[in-house]
């Protein structure tokens, strides 16, 4: 029979009062992401999920397009030129 390695896990609310050991990680079951502990910061440091990064990049591109449209000169970047 295969063995299962299971790491600590809890909700965001419960993890907010946990500082954990240096290098320890938890599974945040609310945000579905890993949280790395540093031994002193309550709630630790959540790792970004792929969907969070994608959304952040798309929001940044939208802001840059908005800013570049205010300039009549050449585009800031070829990516932003439409």
Report if residue 17 sits inside a domain.
yes
- What's the CA angle centered on 47, arms 14 and 26, to 5 degrees? 40
CATH assignment of the domain containing 35: 2.10.10.30
Report if residue 39 sits inside a domain.
yes
Distances from the Cα of 59 to the Cα of 5, 14, 56, 68, angstroms: 37, 30, 5, 14
End-to-end Cα distance, the chain: 57
Per-residue pLDDT tens digits for 17-58: 999 999 999 999 999 999 999 999 999 999 999 999 999 999
**Residue 24: per-residue pLDDT:** 94
Q: Which two tokens stand for residue 60?
A: 């940044």
Residue span of the structural domain in which 52 resides:
9-68
Report if residue 54 sits inside a domain.
yes
pTM of the model: 0.67
Domain tally for the chain? Answer: 1
Report if residue 82 sits inside a domain.
no
Report if residue 79 sits inside a domain.
no
């Amino acid at each position: 029979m295969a063995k299962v390695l299971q790491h600590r896990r809890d909700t965001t609310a419960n993890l907010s009062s946990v500082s954990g050991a240096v290098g320890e990680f938890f599974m945040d079951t609310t945000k579905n992401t890993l949280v790395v502990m540093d031994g002193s910061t309550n709630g630790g440091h959540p790792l970004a999920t792929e969907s969070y990064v994608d959304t952040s990049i798309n929001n940044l591109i939208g802001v840059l397009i908005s800013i570049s449209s205010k300039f009549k000169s050449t585009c800031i970047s070829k990516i932003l030129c439409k």
